[in-house]
Amino acid sequence: MTTQDLVSQIRSKKSFLCIGLDVDLDKIPRHLLLEDDPIFAFNKAIIDATHHLAVAYKPNTAFYEAYGIRGWQALAKTIAYLNEHHPELLTIADAKRGDIGNTSGRYAKAFFEDLQFDSITVAPYMGKDSVEPFLSYSDKFTILLALTSNEGAYDFQVLPSGGEALYKQVIKTSRTWQNAQNLMYVVGATKAAYLGEIRRLVPDNFFLVPGVGAQGGSLKEVCQYGMNHQVGLLINASRSIIYASSTADYAEAAAAKAAELQQQMELVLRDR
């Protein structure tokens, strides 16, 4: 998938919504537990009900690994279903991987070749040779953690480092890496005030923005500070959509929540 494909999808759906598929068996409707693969059954119903409202889906690998082999199988089925039935959607493995070069190469193989995700989230701490094996796939996106949405973001990411905040150093340095045009950045919605500064550093790259909804970030502020000429934002919502209802109407409830966000996004896109 190219940036142009993504932007076209955003324009036609009037949405830049990403739906996080963070499935917890303790939170899904009880009747699904009778299915052969409750996680996949849940994901399929959510995708079927919301795919016209969203442009990206983002399973977080932690939620699948927590169920061992059965979880990994559900992840594989979910990405295969997305690729077969909705190839226009951007798929994001929210895996936050990163290791020395030859090892990051194995993660890239896992997510880009074996599972066939379009993109993956990657942690920057180990530097260039831990990220470039992902970037070497020129038809994929590598989504680097910059300024995350959680409280712990203040522990190290904002420390003054070499003259400015560490997250800015991460962004600036990453621009010198191979295929840097294929980088996206994770920037939390809870840090909307920082978004404008980050946008000035990387005018053309997309931001993946978690933290609207359950974590308290504001869609309006994120758009105000973070948008660029080709929208440049993917706003993620996970729990607020997929757990909108815990009864038989969960997929319709998820679609209603997704539609609310899509309508707010449509208004923003119309005003620009």
Sign of CA dihedral 104, 148, 184, 139: positive
- 157 scored as a contact of a copy of itself (CB under 8 A): yes
Scanning the structure block, which residue is given the tokens 């009037």?
Answer: 14
Antiparallel, parallel or unpaired: β 164-165 and 160-161: antiparallel
Find the largest Cα–Cα distance for the chain.
Answer: 56
Q: Which stretch binds a copy of itself (CB under 8 A): 36-44, 126-134, 220-228, 229-237?
A: 126-134
For 78-108, letters b (16+ CB in 10 Å) and e give bbebbeeeeeebbbbbbbbbbbeeeebbebb
- 27 scored as a contact of a copy of itself (CB under 8 A): no
**Shortest gap between Cβ of 163 and a copy of itself (angstroms)?**
9
**Shortest gap between Cβ of 109 and a copy of itself (angstroms)?**
5
- 16 scored as a contact of a copy of itself (CB under 8 A): no
**Listed residue (219, 197, 200) closest to 210, CA to CA:** 219
Q: How many residues bind a copy of itself (CB under 8 A)?
A: 58
Contact 93, 119 (CB under 8 A): yes
Q: Which stretch binds a copy of itself (CB under 8 A): 2-10, 35-43, 154-162, 218-226?
A: 154-162
Q: Is 191 a catalytic residue?
A: no
- 152 scored as a contact of a copy of itself (CB under 8 A): yes
Contact 39, 81 (CB under 8 A): no
- 159 scored as a contact of a copy of itself (CB under 8 A): yes
Near a copy of itself by CB under 8 A: residue from 16, 18, 19, 22: 22
- 84 scored as a contact of a copy of itself (CB under 8 A): no
> Given 13, 27, 44, 96, which residue is catalytic?
96
- 60 scored as a contact of a copy of itself (CB under 8 A): yes
Using the minimum distance from each CB to a copy of itself, give the nearer residue, 130 or 182: 130
- Which parts of the chain fold into alpha helices (H)? 3-13, 38-50, 61-65, 68-85, 101-108, 128-135, 153-156, 166-174, 192-201, 219-226, 239-242, 250-270
Contact 118, 140 (CB under 8 A): yes
Near a copy of itself by CB under 8 A: residue from 126, 180, 256, 259: 126
- 14 scored as a contact of a copy of itself (CB under 8 A): no
**Shortest gap between Cβ of 234 and a copy of itself (angstroms)?**
17
With 0-12 CB in 10 A as exposed, 13-18 as middle and 19+ as buried, what is 129?
middle
CA gap 178, 50 in Å, rounded = 35
**Shortest gap between Cβ of 182 and a copy of itself (angstroms)?**
18
Residues that bind a copy of itself (CB under 8 A): 22, 24, 60, 62-63, 65-69, 71-73, 76, 94, 96-101, 103-104, 106-107, 109-111, 114-115, 123-131, 145, 148-157, 159-162, 166, 169-170, 173
Write out the catalytic residue numbers.
96
